[in-house]
């Protein structure tokens, strides 16, 4: 919907029936005189939940159309529980330990937090969720949720599983991306050694064994990206903790230089809760321009905030995390704007649960004249969270997806613990989810 103001002049020193920068005008007869009618569009400024494309992030009928009353009641119980920070803090510490003991908690986890945030234990189980999402115009970022494994056999197995995921994604119309964590392909200690080592492309110090180990990691990633490029599936490389991120960045840029020449296949993940990442985004763009490839980025705020601050305090170094949420929001929105203003050279995935950031991005797309379904712009939220954003964006024709992990419960525990911590620590997130679920249950059952 557009709003216009009409102004009438007796004289207008411009050629008739010509478009002005500010609007349109034409000649009209009125009381025997020729008057000029100028029609000027006024900008519409969005409220928190509405923009000119008729998006409403308060529309719960769209948001939860794919969920039954039983599903919503289960989610209501879970988010209510996660509202107690002390409970989450205890639970996230005890759950990994309890899983290792073999105590019968598998069923409880599967019916609660696993069901809310994970597609299934197998690719076959997850396919059903992906199909449901597709019916509502929602795409999928598929993720084999293994991370933090140790041993070359485990890394090789993960690589084979990622290849299977790529091949499956290529058969589905609504799965344009897969997600990969380098910690699923490489030893954490190796990445930390690399992060602390001099920036030598040829290897790590003089340790031949570690050089060979890193070469195997590179070979695994190359294999995944090569197959993905053949199948036209994007590879999103996840962000890690700051003290192992540098080798991940270097590996990702190396893969981009190889596979992003004609189209964007490989994406790096940039965490804007770090105060150096907006600069890193712009630096990455300059490198891409110089080396002749297209930059792919997924923009997130970040998932390791408490861990990052604790480690910085314990080891007496300056925290890499922004001083406050306002600075994080400022950098995030600036990063989105930078990418959209360079849309032909940067493909961006706006991965955010922040309603204001999503609205600003949607408005900016319209202001820049970029189509909602432009192939270089994609919105995304995690499965199990912010359905009010995902499904209402899809309704307006935007490219939008759910990040959908799968894997055995024991392997996705680290991911699940982060989701619990995130919902507990992000101000207002749990409360917002709860209020929307309650609103929809009330709408369905007045």
The confidence band for 133, taking pLDDT boundaries of 50, 70 and 90, is: very high
Contacts of 28 (CB under 8 A, 6+ apart): 34, 35, 36, 37
CA dist 64 → 70, 83, 185, 400 (Å): 12, 21, 36, 16
| Predicted local distance difference test score (pLDDT) of residue 19 | 34
The whole-number pLDDT of residue 306 equals: 82
pLDDT at 206: 54
Please state the domain extents for the chain: 3-42, 99-425
pLDDT confidence band for 423 (50 / 70 / 90): low
Q: What is the CATH number of domain 99-425?
A: 3.20.20.220
pLDDT at position 23 over 60: no
**What was the pLDDT predicted at 5?**
42
Nearest to 240 by CA among 294, 187, 163, 165: 187
Question: Is the pLDDT confidence value at 10 over 80?
Answer: no
237: which strand partners? 180, 268
For the stretch 275-299, pLDDT in tens is 999 999 999 999 999 999 999 999 9
Q: Please give the Cα distance from 261 to 116 (Å, whole number).
A: 38
Give the sign of the dihedral formed by CA 138, CA 144, CA 148, CA 152.
negative
* pLDDT digit string, tens, across residues 176-205: 999 999 999 999 999 999 888 765 444 445
Examine the pLDDT at 404 and tell me if it is beyond 80: yes
């Amino acid at each position: 919907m557009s709003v216009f103001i009409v102004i009438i002049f007796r004289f207008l020193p411009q050629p008739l029936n010509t478009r002005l920068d500010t609007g349109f005008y034409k000649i009209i007869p009125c009381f025997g005189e020729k008057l000029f009618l100028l029609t000027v569009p006024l900008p519409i400024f969005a409220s928190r939940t509405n923009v000119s494309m008729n998006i409403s992030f308060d529309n719960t009928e769209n948001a939860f159309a794919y969920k039954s009353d039983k599903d919503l009641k289960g989610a209501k119980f879970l988010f209510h529980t996660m509202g107690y920070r002390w409970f989450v803090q205890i639970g996230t510490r005890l759950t990994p330990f309890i899983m290792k003991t073999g105590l019968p908690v598998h069923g409880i986890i599967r019916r609660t937090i696993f069901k809310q945030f994970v597609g299934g234990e197998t690719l076959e189980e997850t396919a059903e969720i992906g199909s449901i999402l597709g019916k509502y115009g929602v795409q999928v970022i598929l993720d084999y949720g293994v991370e933090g494994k140790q041993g070359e056999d485990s890394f090789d197995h993960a690589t084979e599983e990622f290849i299977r995921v790529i091949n499956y994604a290529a058969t589905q119309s609504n799965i344009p991306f897969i997600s990969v964590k380098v910690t699923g392909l490489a030893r954490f200690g190796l990445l930390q050694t690399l992060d602390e080592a001099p920036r030598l492309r040829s290897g790590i110090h003089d340790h031949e064994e570690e050089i060979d180990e890193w070469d195997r990691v590179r070979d695994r990633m190359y294999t995944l990206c090569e197959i993905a490029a053949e199948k036209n599936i994007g590879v999103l490389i996840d962000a890690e903790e700051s003290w192992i991120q540098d080798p991940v960045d270097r590996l990702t840029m190396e893969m981009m230089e190889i596979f992003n020449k004609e189209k964007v296949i490989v994406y790096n993940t940039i965490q804007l809760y770090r105060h150096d990442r907006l600069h890193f985004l712009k630096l990455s763009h300059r490198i891409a321009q110089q080396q002749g490839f297209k930059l792919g980025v997924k923009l997130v705020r970040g998932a390791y905030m408490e861990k990052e601050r604790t480690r910085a305090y314990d080891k007496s170094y300056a925290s890499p995390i922004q001083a406050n949420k306002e600075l994080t929001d400022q950098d995030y929105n600036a990063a989105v704007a930078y990418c959209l203003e360079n849309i032909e050279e940067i493909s961006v995935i706006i991965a955010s649960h922040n309603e204001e950031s999503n609205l600003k991005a949607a408005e900016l797309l319209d202001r820049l004249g970029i189509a909602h379904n432009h192939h270089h712009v994609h919105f995304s939220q995690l499965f199990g969270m912010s359905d009010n954003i995902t499904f209402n964006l899809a309704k307006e024709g935007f490219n939008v997806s759910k990040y959908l992990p799968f894997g055995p419960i024991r392997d996705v525990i680290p991911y699940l613990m982060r989701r619990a911590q995130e919902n507990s620590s992000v101000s207002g997130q749990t409360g917002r989810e709860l209020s929307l679920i309650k609103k929809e249950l009330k709408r369905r059952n007045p």
